[in-house]
A and B are shown apart, each in its own frame.
Chain A
Amino acid sequence: MKETLRPAISLFLGLTIITGAVYPLITTGIGKTLFPSQVAGSLVKQGDVVVGSTLIGQSFTHAKYFWGRPSATGPYPNNAAASSGSNLGPLNPALTETIKGRIAELKQVDPDNTLPIPVDLVTASASGLDPEISPAAANYQVNRVAKARGLQADQVIELVQKNTQARQLGVLGEARVNVLALNMALDASITKEAK
């Protein structure tokens, strides 16, 4: 037994130090040097105040803001300290009810909109923190946001396009619009006009 225990214990300790301390610390060092903003969480500021992360979705309910993906985190949506999906099964009546509720909310702030509702606007994301919506989901909201802000639809469409990313490298994933960045751009454009 002794001839097994000694190598087991020493290799376990040795490999723990290498893979559990040296490796993560080297990674941290490289990250801090090469990608300081990414490794700290891609935080964004409005003036001097940190208002969020470009990678983490926030809740928006006002008509003047674009809304993001519904979030199923608890106790409040987009809780970035407790990521989670809804885990509702496809035929769970609770899922159907929730979606009905989301459709009603969208209708309430935008009663005249007769466009079909893009599916990502009424279904919860996997992480509960999805920072993005599909371009279709953004287009659906353009008229509402423009009206609430007293802007021309064209001005809003322009901002949507500025904040749209195509498929990465032209092929990977899906095209998408960053909701926080778009809403910050909207707020900024108003400040500019006021000046």
Chain B
Amino acid sequence: MNANMLIQYGLYFAVILLLIKPMGVFIASVMEGNTPLLNKIGGPVERLLYKLGGVNAKVEMDWKAYAIALLVFNTLGILVLFLLQRLQLSLPLNPQQFSNVSVDSSLDTAVSFITNTNWQGYAGESTMSYFTQMVGLTVQNFLSAATGIAVVIAMIRGFARHSAKTIGNFWVDLTRSTLYILLPFSLLFAVIFMSQGVIQNFSSYQNVITLETTSYQQPKLDNTGNPLKDAKGDAVLENLTTKTQTLAMGPVASQEAIKMLGTNGGGFFNANSAHPYENPTPLTNFLQMVLIFLIPAGFCYAFGMMVGDTRQGWAVFAAMGLIFIVMATVLVSAEQAGNPAFTAASLNSAGVDQTSSALQAGGNMEGKETRFGIVASSLFATITTAASCGAVNAMHDSLTPIGGLVSLWLIQLGEVVFGGVGSGLYTMLIYAILAVFVSGLMIGRTPEYLGKKIEIFEMKMSSIIILVTPILVLIGTAIAVMVEPGKAGIANPGAHGFSEVLYAVSSAANNNGSAFAGISANTPFYNYLLAIAMWFGRFGIIIPVLAIAGALAAKKRIQPGLGTLPTHGPLFVILLIGVVILVGALTYVPALALGPIVEHLMMLAK
């Protein structure tokens, strides 16, 4: 830990701590309808939307109706996004004339953006038209985040209400969170991003004349477009030069803001938040990191407020925060320590200098940007995998083995360390239910949480939620490393290649979306496999969560007795952390041992 690290990490934690309460109060007010000013400004639009949809905002739904509305709405989203990609050549705003996207890739991307995963098998700047990016992908950045908010609000109502049949109105929750939470913040931050150099235009790609001519080689193609081979079977290379650079353009800033705020993470460009047009300065980088945690952290406070005891929210926050701080420290230390292979490469010549100083970041700079260095890249990598954001400002495939291990494991914990917008808290509350259940078993009393008895139905649903993602991840990975089309996608040799596959399926099933991006996942095999993982990883959890919400709302509230475990103190925080770690560790350590752990041991042997 050097001073630079402490200052940048400390500043980030301080800003998040300061924002939790105001953000939580704001979220709770919007979702309870107590925002007179916003209601006045947005009211006409809100009411118009309800009128068009025939929605009576005062009529609430039971959990089944809520779940059906959510599923229908999200299925419609998949369909429309799929069609937009399939038809983009016939649609406007396609200056580069990008062809229609293939069936498997369109489906993968559609499911990916609807499920708030934003896994990308494609490269944005060479695949998607501006129209698809804006009307298709940007829209789902909003709507998938709003869906997450709706679900967690419904669950909080389940705790807050008693003897109630309904958990809210999905259409109202969706509309209000989009109009009043996501939209204003996105606009504000899009403007700040533009001031720093994030582009926002509809120009065709710009050709510029570079200072120097670039010489390069590429495989020569025959008339049919296949690479020519020489007598030995090696590809024939031709020498080429270019004096132009083609700069990819587009409406980036508007998508960038909601990409971070909604913990979506799908980049406009292939390099995501490492691309200087998406994330041009250390300041934009810092704000992007703040945006990722803004709603998930604020929701901890909103939760406490809505259940009538803010200490409950702080306890959940403390559990998340403690895991996060440990993970962040491990990751940055590993990256700063650098890569012994670089030192080995420089034997017999002047050495490669990996020490950090005022003049350079040092450390493992492969796949990292100069302006972010080691500290801001490592912090970003921890945040984006702790929250289910999945945006990257450094290439995770080139992280050190321990750096990669931390990112991967944070994803595998189920995205509960702040997690996605809405999804982070509702999954963490399932762990809280599990924690009171475990403690109830220890002392032989019926477990209760926030005045609600936790009974067989809730535990059945919680078990489904805990089991869905490990099943998807472990079986999905096993299939991918056994079959030919799965193995064909692996880029790096040895244990790291296995990590690439494990990371891909973990990222999809937990709706993160980041990747060990060397893997060639834009193939029918991976597109279908990951689409299945993403869909079940999202809705396989949302439906049982809503079922629990419905069951809790119907229960009577009981007064805490002598045998009630207080769920706002340090004891519960430790218990909750224990349950999260235990479930995560027991499930994934065997698989991790085959990937990053063995790779780390090999690195030590260098």
Interface residues of A (CB under 8 A from B): 3-12, 14-16, 18-21, 23-24, 26-28, 30-32, 34-35, 38-43, 46, 49-53, 55-62, 65, 69, 74-93, 95-97, 99-100, 103-104, 107, 113-120, 122-137, 139, 167-169, 171-176, 180, 183-184, 187
Contact = CB atoms under 8 A, between A and B. Distances in A.
Interface in B574-606: 599, 602-603, 606
Given A19-B182, A176-B371, 4 more contacts: A24-B254, A84-B123, A84-B271, A117-B352
Q: Which of B138, B179, B255, B606 has the most CB of A within 10 A?
A: B138
B248 A122 contact: no
Interface residues on B, range: 35 or more
B45 interface: yes
A102 to B, nearest CB: 9
Given A56-B245, A77-B216, A126-B369, A92 B493 contact: yes
A120 B365 contact: yes
The 9 nearest A-B residue pairs measured at CB: A173-B282, A87-B518, A126-B274, A7-B53, A174-B373, A89-B496, A85-B395, A83-B271, A172-B282
A12 B214 contact: no
Nearest to B256: A27
Contacts of A124: 366-367
Contacts of B174: 11, 15
Contacts of A122: 342, 345, 352
Contact of B214 (A31, A76, A113): A76
B123 A136 contact: no
Contacts of A115: 350
A129 B349 CA distance: 28
B502 to A, nearest CB: 13
A132 B194 contact: no
14 contacts: A7-B54, A12-B73, A12-B76, A24-B200, A24-B251, A58-B210, A61-B215, A81-B126, A88-B398, A90-B339, A95-B341, A95-B366, A115-B350, A173-B373
Q: Which of A55, A59, A89 has the most CB of B within 10 A?
A: A89
Q: Which of A24, A69, A100, A174 has the most CB of B within 10 A?
A: A174
Contacts of B11: 171-172
A114 B49 contact: no
Contacts of B205: 81
Given A85-B517, A180-B211, A125 B368 contact: yes
B247 interface: yes
Contacts of A113: 350
